[in-house]
Structure formats: structure tokens, C-alpha cells
Amino acid sequence: MRTISLYVEKESFIHGLDPVTKLWLTASLLIIPFIVGNIESTLVCLGINLALLSVARVIRRIFSILAMSLVLIITLFIIQGMFYGGNRTEAFALGSLVFYREGLRYATLLTLRFFNIISASMVLILTTRPSDLIESLVRRGLSPRIGYVLASVLQIIPMMISNTSTIMDAQRSRGMETEGRLVTRMKAYLPLMAPLVMSSLVATQERAMALEVRAFGARNPKTFLHEEIISRHALPIRVLTSLGLVAAVIWRVIL
């Protein structure tokens, strides 16, 4: 079965941190460049993120993710290079197409920010099992009911995906065409969606009853199956990231 988690199981310093500390790390490295607002701070945060990803030995994953957005980044440079509002100084011209310094610089900033957002969140996502993250959040006050919803999304999606190929084959064997002209392909959409959607919606009633029978709605405090292990590096990291955020705000206010 295909799984939808990007988690990579490895042993590393980053993997050993608790999810909430990693959430701190990711959030602050992601926000700092926006607070400071220049290319240099974005480069610094991006560098830290890439270093963290190599410590976690998952850095190779990030390149395929970044490669997927190559087209978007190329159009970013083309459009901003030619039409950015602050364009003044000409950088170069290809025939009648003129590219400007300011626009290219702005496109560079946006691209670096985008790389930084991706790499910062990958520090969390590639090294944390989604269910561990949800459990950590429930420990810190997220409603267990919402925790259940999040966890069951992660289970339902692979289940539904594995049903899709069955439905595709069943409808094809009844003569439905899934290739050809646009109208043909549009007509195929509903017969594919409907069986899957209907059956999974009808099953909700059963699931709700199964949960209620097991006292899902009970109001007493919930307990956890596993003990939470907090690494001794967690506190210094949280202090450092908070200091970094404060420094960024001070920089922004003073300069």
C-alpha cells in the first residue's frame, strides 16, 4: 500500500528530538527571513536548514522536491525580471525583451524564501512520524478529538487510494473510456468518483457508532500509550530559536 507520509526512518540527532522542539525550530527558521526581510538573512536560515537536513541524513530528498518547482521558478524570473513594479536599471536584453536588475533581485529573494520554507518544513516533516507529532500536540492541549481526526486522515487516504485502481478497472471493464477527447475524459470523472465517495460516506455512520460504543465522547482525561522522551538538547534549542526570533524582531524595529 502507498503511504502518504514523507517520513524517512533513520537514526540521527534530529530524529531524536521531540516533535514540539522541531516545530519550534522549523517555525522560527521559517519566519525569521520574513521578519528581517533581506536576502542575506534568508541565505543564513537556508544554510542552517540544509545543515540540519544533512545532519539528519535526509538532504537528498529535498532536491527532488525543489526540482519539481523548477518551472514555477523560471517563470518567476521571467515575469518579475521584465514586469516587476520597481524595475529601473536594465540588466540585459534578449532582442526586444528587457530584463531589469530590481526584478531579478526580487525574484532571487522570492526563490530563496521558497527554498527556505521548503527546507525548514522538511526538517520537521522528513524526520518526524506524523502520528508522533499529533500525539505530542495532544499532550500539549490539542483536543484529542481533533487529534483523532488528524490521525485518521492519514489512515483513510492510503485506503481510498488503494480503492481507486479497483474502481478504474471495474468501470473500464464496463466499457468506460478514460482516454481520448476532453469531453470523454470529463464524462469519466463522475463514474469514477461516485462509487468511492458514496461508499466512504455511507461508512461514516458505522464508524461513528463504533467510536461511541467505545466511549469516544467520554469527558474524562485521556491517557497515553507511550511515555514521551524529551532529549536533553531540547531546552537549549528552544532557547536558541526564541533568541533568534527576538533578535530578528529587534533588527526589524531598529533598522
Partner 1 sequence: MSAKPKTTPAFTLSTMSLVLIPVVVGINYIGKLFAQTLKLPLWLDSIGTILAAFLNGPIVGAIAGLINNLIYGLTVDTMSFVYAITSVAIGLVSGVVGINYIGRGVLPMLGIGLLVGIAAALVSTPLNVIFWGGQTGNVWGDALFAALRKGGFPLWGASFLDEFVVDIPDKVATVIVAWLIFKGLPKRLTRLFRRGASA
Which residues make up the interface to partner 1 (CB under 8 A)? Answer: 4-6, 72, 75-76, 78-80, 82-85, 106-107, 110, 113-114, 117-118, 121-122, 125, 130, 133, 145-146, 148-150, 152-157, 159-161, 164, 168, 178, 182, 185-186, 188-190, 192-194, 196-198, 200-205, 207-208, 211-212, 216-217
Work out how close the CB of 134 gets to partner 1 at its nearest, in angstroms, rounded to a whole number.
10
Work out how close the CB of 207 gets to partner 1 at its nearest, in angstroms, rounded to a whole number.
5
Q: Nine-digit cell at 42? A: 534568508
Q: Which is nearer to partner 1, 104 or 234 (CB)?
A: 104
Give the chain's end-to-end CA distance (angstroms, integer).
53
Amino acid letter, 221: P
Amino acid letter, 55: V
Contacts with 207 (C-beta within 8 Å, 6 or more apart), sequence order: none
Work out how close the CB of 29 gets to partner 1 at its nearest, in angstroms, rounded to a whole number.
13
Q: Which is nearer to partner 1, 148 or 251 (CB)?
A: 148
Q: Which residues pair with 98 in a beta bridge?
A: 93
Work out how close the CB of 237 gets to partner 1 at its nearest, in angstroms, rounded to a whole number.
21
Q: Which is nearer to partner 1, 196 or 233 (CB)?
A: 196
Distance CA 48, CA 249 (A): 19
Q: Nine-digit cell at 249? A: 524582531
Burial class (CB in 10 A: 0-12, 13-18, 19+), 25: buried
Distance CA 42, CA 19 (A): 24
Work out how close the CB of 247 gets to partner 1 at its nearest, in angstroms, rounded to a whole number.
22
Q: Which is nearer to partner 1, 46 or 117 (CB)?
A: 117
Q: Which is nearer to partner 1, 40 or 212 (CB)?
A: 212
Task: Output phi, psi for 98, to 5 deg.
Answer: -105, 130
